[in-house]
Amino acid sequence: MEQETLPEELADALVGVQRLIRRRLRREMPVPPLRSAEVELLRLVVERPGIGISEAAKELYLAGNSVSTLVNQLARQGYLVRETDPADRRAARLLPTPAAGARLGEWRRRRADLVRHQVSGLDEADRETLLAAVPALRRLADSLREEAGRP
């Protein structure tokens, strides 16, 4: 791989792996199926219970009304609870339900099993290369996150 083609090839590979993992998990997960945006919102609320809708929208790089729609869908399915923020009665705080924790835990377990199985089928050199690449990929994600937060 040439240095000048690295950005495009890396982006294509990452998107392809993520898409295939998502599709495989969607087929295996119990109903109702959750879209990737719903899973991302659930992950965020489980990690940061009490987060507000506008803060969640900023964190997920989505419009506030899009997050409100996701919240309504997830609340109807029993995964999120919306509480009034005591500091600002106009704002809502999002809390995960036990069902959300269970669903997300199952999703994480199945994702890890799927990736573990696929990685185990690779030769030792590929497994070592992937292991060595994880810290750089995390730094890349941090850099993208930091850059997105700048005006």
- Please give the chain's pLDDT, 151 residues, in tens: 678 889 999 999 999 999 999 888 888 877 777 888 998 999 999 999 999 999 999 999 899 899 999 999 999 999 999 998 888 888 889 999 999 999 989 888 999 999 999 999 999 999 999 999 999 999 999 898 887 765 4
Query: How high is the pLDDT of residue 1?
Result: 64
In whole angstroms, how far apart are CA 33 and each of 22, 59, 71, 99, 147? 11, 23, 15, 14, 32
Task: Give dist(CA 20, CA 82) in Å, integer.
Answer: 32
Please state the pTM of the whole predicted model. 0.77
Task: Give dist(CA 42, CA 79) in Å, integer.
Answer: 8
| DSSP code of residue 49 | T
